[in-house]
Amino acid sequence: MPEVKRDNGVIYRKNLDQLHRFVSWFARTLHLSHEQVLILLLNFVILILGHLTYLGTIPFRNSISDNYFTQKRNLVNTLFVKKGWGWTIVVYVLTFLHNSKRQRKDLRQSLVRVSLVTASWYLVTQWFFGMSIIDRIFTLSGGQCVVEEVSTLVSSSMHCRRIKGEWTGGFDPSGHVFLLNTSMCLLLFEIIYSGELTRWDWPTVALCGLWEWMFYMTCIHFHNLVEKLFGYALSVGSISIVYGLVT
């Protein structure tokens, strides 16, 4: 039987065409640009890569579980990630104030988008008529705050940490995944809308690089896969609604 020769170039072009059709469909569905969809897909790939890294290092967890980035008090986490939305807004304002080439209407729409995304961040991670959305999901699924083996009712995960308790027992959507993905998308989407990369955008690129690294670390060391995917889905939903409506 004659050997069938495979044309790798044809296969590559076929796969690339399928990817392009998928991105186009995704962009139409979410009312986003191709570039914006690619940013979302990149972070999804990083999330899966982080989880695969976790699975691949399970036999060595005892030796790597206590590294710098698994410590919640590490400098990057306490100085940057825990204040992540503040840093995101500071960098956005820095870029916004020096982007004089954009028309007033574009700048106004940019402010509306950032305000709406900030509102979604606040509702998901900080407050939603009491507990945040993430904390409500956790407690409704059976989660509770445990302080020295005694369960207690608290108002939020932040309160639980303040009294040195452990937030345990329920479904815990990843707030870090939500925060970092939302922050990166907000900053990079606004660069796309500006239409050019200026010297004032480099702080944005640098901060997004840091956020991407911490996103990867989070996906390796914290939460199970479903909790990470849920945090990512909340972020994509928030970003897509805002950027699909306010263009």
Mind listing the pLDDT tens digit for each residue in 169-222?
789 899 999 999 999 999 999 988 877 666 667 888 899 999 999 999 999 988
User: What confidence score (pLDDT) does residue 237 get?
Assistant: 94
* Model pLDDT for residues 174-185, shown as the tens digit of each residue: 999 999 999 999
| Tokens (6 digits) for 216 | 């990867």
Q: What residues are labeled active site?
A: 176, 223
pLDDT at residue 1 greater than cutoff 50: no
**Cα angle 20, 22, 24; round to 5:** 70
* Model pLDDT for residues 133-177, shown as the tens digit of each residue: 998 998 888 888 887 765 566 657 777 777 767 777 789 899 999
Over residues 53-66, mean pLDDT: 74
pLDDT at residue 3 greater than cutoff 60: no
* Model pLDDT for residues 87-120, shown as the tens digit of each residue: 999 999 988 877 656 667 788 899 999 999 999 9
Over residues 10-21, mean pLDDT: 82
Alpha-carbon separation of residue 162 from 70, 140, 143, 157, 159 (angstroms):
19, 21, 17, 9, 5
pLDDT at residue 67 greater than cutoff 80: no
Please state the pTM of the whole predicted model: 0.85
Task: Give me the residue spans of the domains in the chain.
Answer: 71-126+176-245
According to DSSP, the residues that pair with 198 across neighbouring strands are none
Sequence length of the chain is 247
